[in-house]
Chains A and B, each alone.
Chain A
């Protein structure tokens, strides 16, 4: 079955890695879809994917380009990424823009833990993906996926604002395929809270 995940801004065919999305859909639909709940899922995903609020987080160069994405000439508000929240509790996804070093790693993990689910991670730039030009350093984490799970990778050093928008739209597509009812998010149990 062919699946199409269109966005208003960009058609399915124009995305470059549709095999991956198709694979994802196949995995998710293995259990079949309930019609009633499926419609509800669509509504929820429509809301979620169109209202992804980024956390204002940047460590280095990519952060400046991320600011450019929000500024006039690129304007990510068009897609619903309007409100950059400074508090992790209110943000939906974190753009890891820049190198993550050893000292920052626990901080980043803590930030991720502080976010309310559903939460997503975009690794922006070579440094966040693999350590980039600083890979051999004694103090650089070789990719943020060592610390937190990453949903979308945006390569570049730094990626152009257009690339960032593309990556963010990829995240939107991914969110559109989620299943709120009986999906993956029910599998994980809340850990016992220590009083």
Chain B
């Protein structure tokens, strides 16, 4: 690990290393392009896991967490600028494509403009929004930004900052949609966007020329809210981000806090958490099956998926008291012990589910129309998946083995035997099939665990007031949609200084334009369904 830090130091002597939780390489902002291209080209650090903006009071900056897909090494970079009036940093878009929307997010939240970024527009907030909400000095009063009464206006041009050879920065105007483009507005209220996503789509006939995703129709400012709440209070936000993998998200945050505090989670809790994670993974994949089928026009298949998903929700209902949002994990374990009938019900479900899967295959997977709609549509190559930072089943359908359960085992995943399903086609059909195959694997995992839940406490005793030591902490789990990371920066208080949820959704949206280019409108719907984004997970 220290090896790579020495190498960076050899290239750029100005860097310093900050050891506080995560070991960070502090790079002066003007050296960032050199370090970035060195890392990606010479050291094969090709996967940008997270790009986290932050306001440290006297300076604004960004933390990059970068993985190498070849060696699974990780390096954390930090760069900042003290200019708070007109903060500018160098963009890393040309090195890591997935930085595209993430840098726009940082611009939106902190006002940092990125030199070399092709499209510096706000992404979540309206273009007429005043101020940068995640800055510490942001005026939170409702008067500053009242509920808008007018319809939104979207400019067809954008600004890009380019560095001139003489070192000055020039604003260049870039065209998003030319006046002759036929732009159809898909969303925010559209049955196939699975929520309030909005795609401005330039089409020619039925063929898609360009897609400009506009997010933020469910941007709830969770990260800002979390800064004002104590750690146990922040837990409930995770359930409501990606509500389909509520357990996993909460698991990630709990683990991050537990790791920072050094809490030892009882074995029983670990088992329960793992089973719950896998159950909600099945539930989420069933929902993907349902909604994808509905998007493709097969409503009966939609109902079948929901019928089986309801069985999982009933299991959750017994133990957690909630169907969709369970609020079950807590710091140190889980909220309550499992229901007496939990084991029987789970076993019954596992016995039942293969029949359901066979039915799905008969009804939809084998259907000639469905095959034609999905095969070869929206192909995402492995290189592109890495470039766009597409983790999870979607990335694995493109041949990129990126399962966090295998890479950084947590819970009891190191004790169970399961296969990481990887397909190589990378088309919509592969993305669809991989979900159904993962359901089988999840059932296999649960089968191994359900009879062996150890006796003992279901939660560790924690102090009444939870304070994290000073430092930066990052923890990932494998959510149903892909890696879900939690980054906490603590100053030693009861509340986090910065809490960032590194979700999969934004990267998926970033790839939509690339995947759908030159396909049909109907394909956009199929691709969108198979990418399986959850909008609150994107917007947070």
Contact = CB atoms under 8 A, between A and B. Distances in A.
Given A72-B306, A105-B147, A111-B189, A61 B240 contact: yes
Contacts of A86: 190-191
A64 B244 contact: yes
Interface in A75-90: 86, 88
SS of A interface (majority): loop
Given A65-B324, A106-B151, A133-B240, A139 B221 contact: yes
A104 B218 contact: yes
Nearest to A56: B191
B234 to A, nearest CB: 11
B536 interface: yes
Contacts of A37: none
A147 interface: yes
Contact of B147 (A61, A137, A141, A160): A141
Interface string B123-150: 0111000000100001010000101111
A168 to B, nearest CB: 18
A139 B152 contact: no
B300 to A, nearest CB: 10
Contacts of A101: 216-220
Interface in B148-174: 148-152
A156 B151 CA distance: 30
Interface in A13-59: 56-59
Most chain B CB within a 10 A radius of its CB, from A56, A59, A106:
A59
Contacts of A65: 323-324
Given A58-B195, A101-B218, A104-B218, A147 B147 contact: yes
Given A102-B126, A106-B148, A59 B217 contact: yes
Contact of A71 (B149, B220, B310): B310
Nearest to B149: A106
B499 interface: no
Interface in B288-331: 290, 302-304, 306-307, 310, 313, 323-325
Interface in B89-136: 124-126, 133
B510 interface: no
A71 B306 contact: yes
Given A58-B195, A71-B310, A102 B147 contact: yes
B353 interface: no
A185 interface: no
B228 interface: yes
A31 B191 CA distance: 43
A134 B225 contact: yes
A67 interface: yes
B145 A102 contact: yes
B323 A140 contact: no
Contacts of B237: 133
Interface in A104-120: 104-107, 109-111
A146 B195 CA distance: 21
A141 B149 CA distance: 12
26 contacts: A58-B195, A59-B535, A60-B240, A64-B243, A64-B244, A65-B323, A65-B324, A67-B306, A68-B310, A68-B313, A71-B307, A72-B307, A88-B189, A101-B220, A103-B125, A103-B126, A103-B152, A104-B196, A107-B217, A133-B240, A134-B222, A136-B140, A138-B138, A139-B220, A139-B221, A141-B147
Interface of B: 124-126, 133, 138, 140, 145, 147-152, 188-191, 195-196, 216-222, 224-225, 228, 236-237, 240, 243-244, 287, 290, 302-304, 306-307, 310, 313, 323-325, 535-536
